Amino acid sequence: MRYKLFGRHTGLRVSELVLGTGNFGTRWGHGTEPAEARRIFDAYAEAGGNFIDTADSYQFGQSEEILGDLLQGRRDDFVVATKFTQRADPKDGILVTGNSRKAMIASVEASLRRLKTDRIDLLWAHYSDGVTPVEEIVRGFDDLARSGKILYAGLSDFPAWRVARAATIAELRGTLPIAGLQVEHSLVERTTEQELIPAAQALGLGLVAWSPLGGGMLTGKYRKGETGRAQGFGGKVFQAENSAQRSAVLDAVLAVAEDLGVTPGEVAIAWVAAKGALPIIGPRTVAQLESNLAAADLRLTPDQIARLDQVSALPPVFPYTMLQDPATQQRSAGGQFDRLDLPALPVA
């Protein structure tokens, strides 16, 4: 497995595939027993993986508890990322959920105990609660970093304008930078390409993509009658094959996989990686892990990427319907747009 620098604000070197551990545990009624979780973890490490993604709420804290045991004696070999915002315990109330500093600190203290460690390498705000100002979130991150309890901070599932504001406030105040952004991204969830992914690229944030398989839909297994997350997680974090376009996307993935002699899941994960994100793989079994890891060795050709891009394309939204219009582009460049060398990354 190769290693990538995590964004442009850190020197952190992370593996190209992230191990998501939402399946570590069974308190949600669907997941992996600790013994199988250990086999998954060990196989991921053996393949060179070093980036672990969990959350206080995963399996109501059991994911972190299992990881705490697995990390003993090898803590420094991994980047451990966890999240706060949701309930780690079904009994948790209004004061220890959401994005407030009080909730953040309470969550971090509990996560440190479950993980059996003295610091969290990367703390994500799990998603926007819609009420906590980003100034408070940025200040909370900085306080925790100064106390040595976290090293880096990021935002997960926040609107792009809030991500940009948080990153700017941290930059202007000289506090702990917003280092990363986590979003859903796959061939059946490309709306993040309209604002969120360009924002991450322009702001230099490490970009992590969850559910690159569309909750398993892009493996084709649900066509074979398997249930997986479609039933196991009550239909959550799952993209259904519920439109003609999605059926066409899956048909294209299956066709590319057959041409290459690989699994459809490898193709789906490799496509996400080709777009610049670090895909989170969330295996429930060692067999699923091995299939996911094979994606690290797969490089899709430009023609294959274009084929998948075309079948999964979404119509542009405003203001891009105007900004990407050739006439608009020519007017803003004095009629010389076709002779203009554009920047490699979006400008902020």
Summarised one tens digit per residue, pLDDT across range 3-17 is 999 999 999 999 999
Which candidate, 165, 202, 186, places its Cα nearest to that of 308? 186
- Residue at 246: amino acid letter: R
> For 310-338, how does the pLDDT look when each residue is reduced to its tens digit (9 = 90+)?
999 999 999 999 999 999 999 999 999 99
Q: Is the pLDDT of residue 207 over 80?
A: yes
pLDDT value for 232? 58
Paired tokens of 182 = 């986590």
pLDDT in tens, 113-160: 999 999 999 999 999 999 999 999 999 999 999 999 999 999 999 999
pLDDT at 224: 85
Reported pTM: 0.95
> Which residues share a beta bridge with 125?
84, 155
The confidence band for 265, taking pLDDT boundaries of 50, 70 and 90, is very high
Average pLDDT over residues 248-252: 98
Average pLDDT (69-77) is 98
Q: How many residues does the chain have?
A: 348
Q: What is the mean pLDDT of residues 89-105?
A: 95
pLDDT over 90 at 234, yes or no: no
Q: How far apart are CA 167 and CA 162, in angstroms?
A: 8
Architecture category of domain 3-314 in CATH: Alpha-Beta Barrel (3.20)
Q: Name the residue type at position 193.
A: E
Average pLDDT, the chain: 96
* Percent over 90 (pLDDT), the chain: 93
Rounded Cα–Cα distance for residues 213 and 186 (Å): 6
Q: What is the pLDDT of residue 238?
A: 79
Residue 226 has pLDDT above 90, yes or no: no
Domain ranges of the chain: 3-314, 322-348
Q: What integer pLDDT is reported at residue 48 of this predicted model?
A: 98
Average pLDDT over residues 197-206: 98
Residue 308 CB-density burial (10 A; 0-12 exposed, 13-18 middle, 19+ buried): buried
Q: How far apart are CA 18 and CA 137, in angstroms?
A: 25
CB-based contacts of 80, cutoff 8 Å, min separation 6: 52, 54, 67, 71, 115, 117, 120, 121, 122
Q: Rounded mean pLDDT of 251-270?
A: 98
Predicted pLDDT of residue 230: 58
Residue 152 annotated as catalytic: no
pLDDT higher than threshold 80 for residue 236: no
Q: What is the average pLDDT across 77-96? A: 95
Question: Within a 10 A sphere around the Cβ of 9, how many other Cβ atoms?
Answer: 20
From the list 44, 58, 152, 222, the catalytic residue is 58
Q: How far is CA 162 from CA 74, 117, 127, in A?
A: 36, 31, 11
250-278 mean pLDDT: 98
